[in-house]
Structure 1
């Protein structure tokens, strides 16, 4: 086994020191700002926090660009974590580009010779010394096989495994310090985030996985005549080398090339959306990094997907819960929404479910169906996206890694598609949305049946629940729990309204039960009278429910930075 040189060890410890010291400086600044909060006005302090976040993110981007390695990938990963980081940081990190100077050609030549057990000139009849593209983990060169086929050869950067290992050590040490000296562990599951990063980026260091992903996508997307995935040359590929068919085309956002070759931009945009929905809905296996550099267009209008290092998978249970969330959103049922979100892993451990439910109801109440239709008509979803991002950040919520990649991928693909066809209509996605709702593992009919069963069991349990509640009320043991909303005065004002609603709800339930019993016993007139009383009580309950105490509609804000 080759022993590491002194320079490699120094490089490792230097990287750990640079990364750790940067984050420690961040922690010290956050601690100092928090000390100043008491003597500085809230408005002035908010402005200071905003400037600090920008400075921190800018320093991280500069350090990541200088050191490369995991930091660039980590920055791009955290740019998607709108659930745990403020917008000043995520917006800055989103500009971080995974483009670095290429590694020396001597390393490329040596790596190929070691991995394939032959000198480079014995494998390829030609090999371009200048890289076509260079990123933090690897770089790509054009070459020609003895058979005359043009190929693209992707090679890992020198000592990348040691660099990534050192970066993981530095980030793990940083998280340990954060647990000891900051309040961040109360607001995010740092161990889970570290595991997500470790799994995601470690997979990108094994090109055999990317080769397998590419072959799987080639089979899946074969149903589209105008979609192509390059062939993989397994005999010239290893863990550190990936040799694939060279694609003579341009990036999908090269509109001049598209116009020059008479390619229909609208058709191309629709093809992109359909192919991606096919991945998500039909296969449950999708390209997790579909930016413009990974989608090419050939002169004949064929769309080519490249770079399958990052992929995502939607398992059946996740798909079922996503459907439940979609149904709950359509029905504007905040309780069902929170239940589905919990099953999907959106809620943090020990999150106050009642608080989240009220926050969801607040969000739904302030986004009517008419507003949603207007946004769809104008295609101006920007404000809604900003509100959702701020909403997620304000609540005790987190976004699971698999859904982060799915959400980012869908947003990226949508942006590329609208660039091709600014007038694109949502109807292009209708067949896939219908299939998602009608799949055999759930489906609209099954969903309705489940809701009917749930409603039936609730009705059957009402008499017992009502008797128990009334007994407690008679004994003076009935208590109403109200979570702390941060405003004691508002909570006290709400008590009388809550009591009125409770009494009306109990009377409504009693009327419904009595009417049902009378109807089943053929006392039709009496049942109609009970139904009339129930209708009146329902109207009164609805009227009371729409009465809001002053300032009660304000959203719930997270305390402190991050």
Structure 2
């Protein structure tokens, strides 16, 4: 009851903020939302801005509501299936900026977290933060050995504020799932859980440092793409210290031109790096806005801020690659088959009908000029029309789709007449050959067979236990059973000899591969 009363009053306050910005439409998803919207309109003064698109009005309201709501907006930007493509696109530009807290507080946090006097840790410290966001702010500094670094410091009491707001989000999501069965496939509770997990990871800077370290290792041999080094001695749960990088923002076209940077070549580098993150490594930077990418005078791209990262397992990468290839070659039946094979669309649905849906999405997009094709928006439209087919939300693909849209938007700033997917086409084709060609499929079958062989003893043991015939000497079969199995092996029943032969062939194949 206490939770109900507390969150009810907080929901009313949130609705009044939405009303001031004429952004009450999200309440349509909440039971009683229309009544709440009317109440909010009557009690909250309208602040103007109705000429803005709905998504921008919502973004302004979320910025006013505070850090957790900003993060919620960023999460919703990946959910075009839930809020619509236009609103999601507007929320993707949500400004994660807050007023900075004092440098004295930052110094105290640093000293306490690193358990050392501040003066012994840094000999110079820029008291004006270079960035102040919802979770942390960043200061430049210099270490006693002369290294220039950037220090990320967690906002005081931010964990308490997030905990309070997340409780409200969960409460609303629970009501939606309970009262709106048609929305359960959109997994509102799972969306909030994803937000909570992301925020927890972001608020422990040791995790971000580990992500940056892994990312740096993935690109250690790439001279065109740079990830700064972590200073582990000056990194703790609420403090992250890394090498300072220099350069101009990647979207500062005028500065790039003044440096003599070939923007088409720069886009090709960035596109190749993004492709390698997703398909080669399955580990990608999921907050790739221009403020996190810098270009030096040699055209090298440096990346910062590793608080939001995404992972895609190998099987999903294979599905995604085949899906994109199917769209680009207009093989819509194969696109539909992949969705069924991956389990994204339930088996009882019509393959032919889903193929028709895929064609309806692909043809209008692929009929455009190459420079105007957006793979991210293609995936977004696909997710939007799947309600008819009961397709469940795939959080990892939604994050990737949002990142694709941001990357494509950046590519149009750098070189409007180029398409980033076409520039990285040689990499795509090579990856396809290596991972989807006949040799790759044979290697995958061999790998799976080897995995089956490794699990076979455990399977046999489990079967023995289940049958209740396991003795101290092992599995005992009645002679009549053995004879029956032998006879059936000659016909259409259980092929005992065939199974032994198959196991021998698989074992020989594995041995040859591992030789």
1:101 to 99, 102, 105: 99
Kindly report which structure 2 residues correspond to 1:415-454, keeping only aligned pairs within 5 A, or say none: 415-424=409-418, 426-440=421-435, 442-444=436-438
Q: Identify the residue that residue 557 of structure 1 maps to in structure 2.
A: none
8 A contact 2:72–2:195 mirrored in 1: yes
Q: Identify the residue that residue 297 of structure 2 maps to in structure 1.
A: 299
Q: Identify the residue that residue 234 of structure 1 maps to in structure 2.
A: 232
8 A contact 2:77–2:88 mirrored in 1: yes
TM-score by length of 2: 0.71
1:118 to 116, 124, 130: 116
2:385 to 391, 394, 397: 394
Cα 1:239/1:357, change in 2 over 3 Å: farther
Q: Distance in 2 between matches of 1:14 and 1:34?
A: 20
Q: Identify the residue that residue 191 of structure 2 maps to in structure 1.
A: 193
C-alpha displacement of 1:389? 4.0
Deviations 1:353-386 (A, max 9, x none): 22x7514314416855xx7665244x2236x976
8 A contact 2:208–2:307 mirrored in 1: yes
Once structures 1 and 2 are overlaid, which stretch shifts more, 80-89 or 268-277? 80-89
Deviations 1:401-434 (A, max 9, x none): 2112222222222322332223325542122212
Q: Identify the residue that residue 406 of structure 2 maps to in structure 1.
A: 412
Aligned pair 1:381/2:373, yes or no? Answer: yes
8 A contact 2:376–2:401 mirrored in 1: no
Please state whether the residue corresponding to 1:155 is helix, strand or coil: strand
Q: Distance in 2 between matches of 1:153 and 1:253?
A: 24
Q: Identify the residue that residue 132 of structure 2 maps to in structure 1.
A: 134
Deviations 1:105-124 (A, max 9, x none): 23212211210112322321
C-alpha displacement of 1:23? 6.1
TM-align CA RMSD: 3.6
8 A contact 2:174–2:189 mirrored in 1: no
Q: Distance in 1 between matches of 2:31 and 2:215?
A: 48
Cα 1:303/1:365, change in 2 over 3 Å: closer
Q: Identify the residue that residue 69 of structure 1 maps to in structure 2.
A: 67
Between structure 1 and structure 2, the one with the greater Rg is: 1
Cα 1:193/1:245, change in 2 over 3 Å: same
Once structures 1 and 2 are overlaid, which stretch shifts more, 189-198 or 307-316? 189-198
Q: Distance in 2 between matches of 1:193 and 1:29?
A: 14
Cα 1:412/1:365, change in 2 over 3 Å: closer
TM-score by length of 1: 0.65
Cα 1:106/1:283, change in 2 over 3 Å: same
Q: Distance in 1 between matches of 2:287 and 2:256?
A: 22
Aligned pair 1:255/2:253, yes or no? Answer: yes
Q: Distance in 2 between matches of 1:435 and 1:256?
A: 35
Deviations 1:436-459 (A, max 9, x none): 32225x425666999xxxxxxxxx
Kindly report which structure 2 residues correspond to 1:330-345, keeping only aligned pairs within 5 A, or say none: 336-342=334-340, 344=342
Please state whether the residue corresponding to 2:152 is helix, strand or coil: strand
Deviations 1:288-325 (A, max 9, x none): 11110111011232210111111122212212322443
Cα 1:28/1:172, change in 2 over 3 Å: same
**Aligned residue-pair number:** 415
Please state whether the residue corresponding to 2:219 is helix, strand or coil: helix
1:353 to 346, 349, 355: 349
Please state whether the residue corresponding to 2:368 is helix, strand or coil: helix
Q: Distance in 1 between matches of 2:28 and 2:315?
A: 43
Cα 1:219/1:179, change in 2 over 3 Å: closer
Q: Distance in 2 between matches of 1:34 and 1:20?
A: 12
Please state whether the residue corresponding to 1:151 is helix, strand or coil: strand
8 A contact 1:16–1:167 mirrored in 2: no
Q: Distance in 2 between matches of 1:141 and 1:298?
A: 20
Cα 1:157/1:334, change in 2 over 3 Å: same
Kindly report which structure 2 residues correspond to 1:134-533, keeping only aligned pairs within 5 A, or say none: 134-183=132-181, 185-326=183-324, 328-329=326-327, 336-342=334-340, 344=342, 346-347=344-345, 353-354=349-350, 357-364=352-359, 367-368=362-363, 374-377=367-370, 379-381=371-373, 389-390=380-381, 392-396=383-387, 397-424=391-418, 426-440=421-435, 442-444=436-438
Q: Distance in 2 between matches of 1:402 and 1:29?
A: 23
Q: Distance in 2 between matches of 1:232 and 1:267?
A: 29
8 A contact 1:65–1:72 mirrored in 2: yes
C-alpha displacement of 1:269? 1.2
Deviations 1:159-209 (A, max 9, x none): 111111112111011112223444553452223222222222221111111
Cα 1:29/1:208, change in 2 over 3 Å: closer
8 A contact 1:84–1:187 mirrored in 2: no
Q: Distance in 2 between matches of 1:295 and 1:19?
A: 37
Q: Distance in 2 between matches of 1:262 and 1:161?
A: 45
C-alpha displacement of 1:226? 2.4
8 A contact 2:261–2:299 mirrored in 1: yes
C-alpha displacement of 1:334? 5.0
